[in-house]
Amino acid sequence: MKKLRHSELLDIRGNGTDERKPHDRIYDYDVYNDLGNKRPVLGGEKRPYPRRCRTGRPHYTQGQDESCRADTDWETRATDKIYVPRDEAFTEIKEAAFLRELVLSVGHSLCTLKFKDMEDHKSQSFPSLAAIDALYEVDFRNQPSQSQPHTHAEIAGVMIGFVVDELERLLHGAHLPEEICRFLKFETPEIHDKDKFAWFRDEEFARETLAGMNPLSIQLVTELPIVSEVDGPSLITKELIEEQINGVMTAEEAMRRKKLFMLDYHDMFLPFVHKVRMLEDTTLYGSRTLFFLTGDGTLRPIAIELTRPESQDHGRRSSPSPTKDEWRQVFTPGSSVTESWLWQLAKSHVLAHDTGYHQLVSHWLRTHCCVEPYIIAANRQLSRMHPIYQLLHPHFRYTMEINAQARQMLIDAGGIIESAFSPGRYCMELSSVAYDKFWRFDMEALPEDLIRRGMAVRGEDGKLELAIEDYPYANDGLMVWDAIKQWASDYVKYYYPGAKDIIDDHELQGWWTEVRTKGHEDKKDEPWWPVLDSHESLVQVLATIMWVTSAHHAAVNFGQYPLAGYIPNRPTTTRKNMPPEMGGPDSKEMRAFLEEPERVLLDTFPSQYQSVIVMLILNLLSSHSSDEEYMGTYQELVWRKEEKIKEAFDRFKSKMVDIAAQIDKANMDPKLKNRNGPGVVPYVLLRPSNGHPEDEKTVMGLGIPYSISI
């Protein structure tokens, strides 16, 4: 048996040569060298990055720019299906559900974009806020589908003769019947359904840093003055802070009492500002946003600082202009109409930064991208009957397939992410910088992440104390984290009675060594990698992986369309500079702003084309397939065969049901203003399934899937 296990593992690893075929079951590593023409290679000393699955396809021309793919290869790329090992491919049910959502999303987009030639209209702004509202069918709510076709034939039956013919007519300039247009309008995002003006409110802007789709960036302010490693002290001074909080305490006291919090995209975005501004119809700043924790447990935004660094400004011309001085300004909510509109514009820029960072770092990098090496290493080093493979198997389902599809149409050169999210064609480079500077495996567990951001401290009893008591993501997440860790602990205790059993398990040690030295090769020498030499260290490693693939991903994924499907609530990019940057009160830009501030805001938002493309992909990414496996409900067959493991899983399942009940109770508590109140969307992204996801009323409340499957 040992020989057979070893032989199978050797076959799975392959020989590192040849192009992989669809029938292959070979797992190997490669850098991200397939993103498209003139995109840099991600992975290696120059641009550190996790490794992906090797496909063996040719990628480069033999020229001076080794990162440039052959143009002929790039042109045929859209029709290629990127290899994944056959065991990682979608099942027919999953493929059909994914295709159904994709077809309907494309239908939404084509019905909305009534242009003969979309290329000529990519920069067209919405004419009014009412035009944005018209994208949605008022009676079509963002709810789970009650029935989903399961085969390609059924999908074709739904579309052929009913929609496809009409879409073909549309492409030739004809109008669709009203009934079809209504069918193909977008669902009303939950945020817009609950409160039509939520996007404009400072309260909602702040609340979503704690209970939105990116609650992983808010951090405690621990030093005043705020200082950048790139360009020195911030313009958000102690005096400005005290003025904005009406002198109720000094700035130092507010910091000491943990009242000041920040979204900091200053140092991360600043190096990309001038490069992005050389692109058409887009702009970028570095930004800081400061919040004050009020007495009722909610955050209040008090200042936004936007910065354009000093640079040789090449603009969009062939020859450079003289060096431009740095421009930076702090915006506050203000008391005048002008200040209020400038504040709204500044918020739009911050939201674009937060949404771009969410998509590239909180979502893609920290879940999809960093998890793929764990999967490759597990298949190369752990036999199928290994207990750790059997524990992690449901957490790896479909991830390599969905990552391959992302490389093909989302994160590729000129793909949806580059086309509609900040910072444009530099999106993947930004995620590489984040990986290089900030990613650490030992900080990916929820408690450690909260502590790193100053959002929690560990008390003498070992329990976490949150800096903000009403922090829905952390409140719910810590309950789920504890349940996952206990389940992993019970599992490990059964199979590994002592530390020596862990140390002597050559397959287990080989897996973890390969994760570090091959999957995350660019960080292989970092001192923070855990060593698998005890029950606690193995449990922490397994729980971290299980958390990232399930709850972390659910928290950043399934709220995307419900919260960002209404573009003004979370614009993904900005296209116009702030009016004060462009000149004094007599400048053309300031005069246009004073005459039509709403027009300037609409021109700052993503274009019609970008908005609809974003809505298409967020609608797709926020969906659940009909064969989803939810944490606490689904269990592997082998778990049932061992009585002790079955008992441990039953305890885990019971705990998850209890957590769901506690979350339901919290969402009804009027004292918890970050999750309850008029027009407030309840926080259910980390609510486990009660065993019957089909009974849930919203996509966000369906449950926590085990794996990154969408």
Question: Active-site positions?
Answer: 363, 368, 553, 557, 710
Q: Are strands 299-308 and 286-293 parallel, antiparallel or unpaired?
A: antiparallel
The whole-angstrom separation of Cα 168 and Cα 172 is: 7
The whole-angstrom separation of Cα 359 and Cα 213 is: 10
The whole-angstrom separation of Cα 22 and Cα 16 is: 16
Are 532 and 507 within 8 A, CB to CB?
A: no
Kindly state the DSSP code that residue 294 receives in the 8-state scheme: -
Give the tokens for residue 514.
């390969």
Query: 263 - beta bridge partners?
Result: 289
The whole-angstrom separation of Cα 295 and Cα 534 is: 44
Residues in contact with 627: Cβ distance below 8 Å, sequence separation at least 6, in sequence order: 91, 93, 94, 97
Question: What would the DSSP string read from start to end of 418-466?
Answer: HHHSTTGGGHHHHHHHHHHHH--GGG-SHHHHHHHTTSEEE-TTS-EEE
Residues in contact with 689: Cβ distance below 8 Å, sequence separation at least 6, in sequence order: 630, 631, 632, 633, 656, 660, 696, 702, 703, 704
Instruction: Report in angstroms the alpha-carbon separations of 624 from 164, 372, 554, 574, 660.
Output: 24, 21, 11, 30, 19
Are 328 and 310 within 8 A, CB to CB?
A: no
Q: What phi, psi does 628 have (nearest 5°)?
A: -60, 145
* CA 319 and chain centroid, separation: 38
Q: Coil, strand or helix: which one is 474?
A: helix
Taking the CA atoms of the chain, what radius of gyration do you get in angstroms? Answer: 25
Are 307 and 231 within 8 A, CB to CB?
A: yes
